[in-house]
Structure 1
């Protein structure tokens, strides 16, 4: 039986790839993003695979948009079985170089509040279907990454929210899976904020060996299907989360080593 899947951040990168992979399985898709033109192209690709798909222009930093997204999904397909909170924005800036904090608040509205608002709106339908919630966090939501203070804060908050929600929803048969991608070969870091709150245009992380979006999407969806609590995608991530309890100084050195030389903190 096909499911109704609501997926945010679906116009490019990991989100678009998840949409295409879900379409191959015959799910009914409600795809959300700000860029309606790019989103419509993803819908067409999903329809070409035989899936029913609906594009809903959504800015997840606006609560009304998040609630309207769920209303549109229910109006078209009658309910929600899966909610994948994938929309997010990146940022790379040493905190001492940030002169205006407003963009940090904007970042939090997308990465945390967008997921909270979508989840709150969808919750009655997910409880009725004993469905699944997926939260796409980041390794920066497990280990604080220098130069990514605001981003790590938003992802740690997301991780904590869905960890608590998982326990609350367990008696109701709703599964919550949190995914922790590392460096994935997408444009998210290039399109994120710099210290001035402008589009970064470059990545502050070393990109060698970055995971493909196809692999990342497959790992997230496999974890969702298996009702896993967490999906930590790299060996370095799995080791790092435990190592920080035993040797936090070493983990900080590892995090610094992931930064490009020209964005290292100055001594």
Structure 2
């Protein structure tokens, strides 16, 4: 039976790489429903997956719009008749000191993309996932575990995302639907350059130190391995794993680790 996997934020970065790896691994045994705002890039990824033998369906949608999320799931069901996996990957970054933000409108927009898009997609897909006893993946961030300076908006969205799916996992345990929360660190993608700055404009540069960024291929592989094992969560870096425990016994050390992750020349911006 062909496995149907819905991936949001699939036009670039982690989402696109997960799609390619699934296609390479499963070929004709997987059908990929790829959702994102950028239709041309989305079609390129779909073509790459088709060349590897996978069936694909590209759906241009905006995770910040509830009806678009519902439409994505309807399109998957209309085309393939089932959903086995939902990977909530769509998201946007941000970096700004809270005191420098005048208009909080983009905070609300970020919450719609990073939290509500995943909630809306999950609500629409849940009856079908229960039918297949399938799996949900939520791509959070280490910023969903530890507060990072300049990332109040982003941390708020990712902490909320993690909390929602932690609770949902417990609710869904009797149904046989697994929920995996992924916590990447700094990954070599363009998400930070495309994020918001203080006035809501596009950042253009990353505010984090990128020298040791994880290759996107490794990040995607770790998420898909956790999905295959139906793990509760996957924390992808040694500092992330250490920081989680240190937060309980030496929170000041974790604060310093968070400050050290931010470029020196951007800490005061």
TM-score for both structures, normalised by structure 2: 0.98
Alignment of 1:105-116 (within 5 A): 105-116=108-119
1:199 aligns with 2:202: yes
Question: Residue 29 of structure 1 aligns with which residue?
Answer: 32
- Give me the CA root mean square deviation: 0.8
Alignment partner of 1:13 is 2:13 = yes
Q: Give the 5 Å matches for 1:141-180.
A: 141-180=144-183
Query: What corresponds to 2:234 in structure 1?
Result: 231
SS in 1 for 2:150: coil
Of 81, 84, 103, the residue aligned with 2:84 is 81
Count of equivalent residues = 266
Q: Write out the 4+ residue segments of structure 1 that deviate beyond 3 Å after TM superposition.
A: none
Are 2:259 and 1:256 aligned? Answer: yes
In 2, distance between residues paired with 1:262 and 1:11? Answer: 31
CA distance in 2, matches of 1:254, 1:5: 36
Secondary structure of 2:182's match?
strand
How far apart are the structure 2 equivalents of 1:34 and 1:234? Answer: 29
Aligned-partner Cα distance in 2 for 1:239–1:198: 34
- 2:123 pairs with one of 116, 120, 123: 120
Measured after TM superposition, the shift of residue 141 of structure 1 is 0.1
Alignment partners' CA distance in 1, 2:94 and 2:242:
24
* Partner Cα separation in structure 1 for residue 117 and residue 214 of structure 2: 25
Partner of 2:45: 42
The reply on whether 1:60 has 2:63 as its aligned counterpart is: yes
Unaligned runs of 5+ in 2: none
1:184 — aligned with what? 187
Match of 1:188, SS state, is coil
